[in-house]
Amino acid sequence: MTRKPEAHTEIEVKFDVGMDTPVPDLAGAPSVTAASAPELTHPVSTYFDTADLALARARITLRRRTGSADAGWHVKLPVSSDERLEVRSPLSAGGNTTRVPDEVALVVRAHTRGRPLVPVASIETRRVITTVSTAKADRATELCDDTVTARNLLDDITVRWREWELELVDGTRSTLRHLGTFLLDHGAKPGSSPSKLARALGSRLEAARDSTSPQPDGTAGAALRVALAADVSALIAADPRVRRDEDDSVHAMRVATRRLRSVLRSYRTLLDRAEVDAVRGELAWLAGILGTARDAEVLAARYRDALAALPADAVRGDVADSLVGTQERLFSLAHAEVVRELDGERYFALLDALEALLASSPSGKKAGKPAARVFDRVLRAQYARVDEAHRRTLALRERGAEDEHEDAMHDVRKLAKKLRYAAEAAGVVDSPKRFARTAARAAKSAKKVQSVLGDHQDSAVARRTLLVEADSAHARGADTFTHGVLYAAETRAGADALEPFPSAWKTLRRTADRAGWTDR
């Protein structure tokens, strides 16, 4: 079985310094209570990437390090401007300075997509580490005084420089800010490069970076590309987490996939229709395989919690295994299928198609029109669909058609979700400010409706599955008492879930009124 690499969050700030700039006495910095004696290490790292620098372009680094306490394989994935997720594997994972082991390569598979990883740079660092203590943390931060010798293996160019890295350990961001200001006051300058690798690759990386990344220009087409770029990034960011089976990772990837499909549907007039339909079809395929795993994951957790809430004498026979165990086994099988598909050509082709969509100029007839005007029309139309579905639920409730009413409420949920995603995409349109505020309110109120009805739908699915499991248990002669108890509890939970709905709907309606989307 493949070992899961360790992961932790890295928060650091870089500073440029001259070769002769002295390191100040950190004990004199604000909030610092002590500074350790300097510790010298000599880490040596080989960095890997594809020939076209796919990882570096995405601000990801993959390296093999020796000569320091953190020796091993490291993959650093961007989280924010100063925060990265670092995934570590030991040197015993295999590989060498010319080959990356499989357990490390899979972390970046969504970026490499079958292309080989090759050595692109070798970096040797003379590192002097000083640990800083505060009243609240013995190891608040570390200052690394690095003298770097880097060789660009692609162009056979060697460069040398010195920099300081201030990394948060057990301290707070406030401590990091104070120390950063202290260093700037003592000869440092803000770092000019996001990583040692980027500096080592220099002009090679600049030439490889995509200069056509989406930028807003006031038009609807450009705004849509910016919104889609964020969703594509979310999808790709979830990929390594799904492969490692992290908590909620399948859910995160499924949401990103569904959001992309929904936004493409809502704003399809801004893009080439045939291209959009093809991509949406493949997103539906991906959402489908993720959905099988996610549904089993949700049901396992729901049944586990429900059984734990019952008195011991109300839990009869093998009900825990038949409910929780069955769903856990279904999740394991479905997750294995997801991982297999994530290594397949169909998935890689989908990612390529999404990137091509972002790189292409919007060709729809409304792409060049003012963004706020086009987006507002879309949101108006999306709200009208939700409102129509809601009216249908009221008519069904009045007729006493409970089964149909439950299905109709699910339709309201799905349409509210589409409105939410469309409104969140509209959040990139920051002019006029009035529209930006309208989009934010619509997204928030639609999300609340979706959330309330999502709880109701989860209960409905749980009840349907309980009936199937009860029939199966009865057929094999097992006790079905607990199934009935759980079914009754889920019936109550479903009714309770709908109690906040009138208030949530009223808020959404009020938002639509203020936006001018209703006839009042």
pLDDT in tens, 163-200: 999 999 999 999 999 999 999 999 999 999 989 999 99
- Domain end among 192, 208, 224: 208
Query: Average pLDDT, stretch 313-340?
Result: 95
Burial of 340 per CB tally in 10 Å (0-12, 13-18, 19+): exposed
Residue 461, pLDDT > 90, answer yes
Could you give the angle at the alpha carbon of 395 between the alpha carbons of 394 and 398, nearest 5°?
Answer: 85
DSSP three-state, residue 222: helix
Going by pLDDT thresholds of 50, 70 and 90, the confidence category of residue 217 is confident
Q: Is the pLDDT at 501 greater than 90, yes or no?
A: yes
Q: What's residue 364's pLDDT?
A: 80
Decide if 1 is inside a domain: no
- Is the same domain home to 197 and 228? no
Q: How far, in Å, CA of 428 to CA of 425, rounded?
A: 6
Is the per-residue pLDDT at 212 higher than 70?
A: no
Confidence of residue 415 (pLDDT cuts 50, 70, 90): very high
Cα separation, 257 vs 26, in Å, equals 47
Does residue 1 carry a pLDDT above 60? no
Q: Are residues 297 and 317 in the same domain?
A: yes
Phi, psi of 376 (to 5 degrees): -65, -40
What is the rounded distance in angstroms from the CA atom of residue 119 to the CA atom of residue 201? 12
Q: Look at residue 3 in the predicted model and tell me its pLDDT.
A: 58
Helix axes 220-243, 249-266, angle to 10 degrees: 160
C-alpha–C-alpha distance, residues 8 and 487, integer Å: 41
User: What is the per-residue pLDDT across 330-353, written as a single tens digit (0 to 9) for each?
Assistant: 999 999 999 999 999 999 999 999
CATH label of the domain that carries residue 33: 2.40.320.10
Q: What confidence tens digit (pLDDT) does each residue in 429-452 have? A: 988 889 999 999 999 999 999 999
Structural domain ending residue among the three candidates 323, 350, 369 = 369
pLDDT recorded at residue 6: 77
Q: Is the pLDDT confidence value at 362 over 90?
A: no
When the pLDDT of each residue in the chain is averaged and rounded to a whole number, the result is: 93
Global pTM?
0.85
- Three-state secondary-structure class, residue 366: coil
The closest of 186, 166, 202, 178 to 53, measured between CA atoms, is: 202
Q: Is residue 171 part of a domain?
A: yes
Do both 362 and 375 map to the same domain? no
How confident is the model over 359-388, as a mean pLDDT?
Answer: 91
Q: What is the DSSP code string of 146-175? A: EEEEEEETTTTEEEEEEEEEEEESSS-HHH
* 98 and 241 co-located in one domain: no
| Host domain of residue 318 | 212-369
DSSP3 helix / strand / coil % (the chain, rounded to 5): 60, 20, 25
Pure H helices in 151-272: 173-184, 196-201, 203-208, 220-243, 249-266
Are the C-beta atoms of residues 279 and 357 closer than 8 Å to each other? yes
Domain of 252: which CATH number? 1.40.20.10
Q: Report which of 144, 120, 142, 140 is spatially closest to residue 43, judged by C-alpha positions.
A: 144
Range list of H helices, 66-184: 102-105, 109-112, 173-184
Residue 17 has pLDDT above 80, yes or no: yes
pLDDT score of 363: 77
pLDDT at 259: 96
Sign of CA dihedral 76, 77, 83, 88: negative
Examine the fold and report which residue of 369, 399, 418 is the final residue of a domain before the chain moves on: 369
Same domain for 194 and 265, yes or no, is: no
Cα–Cα distance, 519 to 506 (Å, whole number): 15
Q: Length of the chain, please?
A: 520
Phi-psi region of 516 (alpha: psi -120 to 50; beta: other; left: phi over 0): left
Residue 246's φ and ψ, nearest 5 degrees, are -75, 155
Identify whether 501 is part of a domain. yes
Residues 407 and 474 in one domain: yes
Question: Half-sphere exposure (CA, 13 Å, Cβ side) for 435?
Answer: 21
pLDDT at residue 213, rounded to an integer: 64
At residue 270, the pLDDT reads 92
Tell me whether the omega of the peptide bond preceding residue 432 falls within 30 degrees of 0, making it cis.
yes
| Residues 262 and 365 occupy one common structural domain | yes
- Across residues 269-288, what is the average pLDDT? 94
Q: How many domains does the chain have?
A: 3
Q: Mind listing the pLDDT tens digit for each residue in 85-105?
A: 899 999 999 999 999 999 999
- Is residue 431, in this structure, part of any structural domain at all? yes
Given a cut of 60, whether residue 51 has pLDDT beyond it is yes
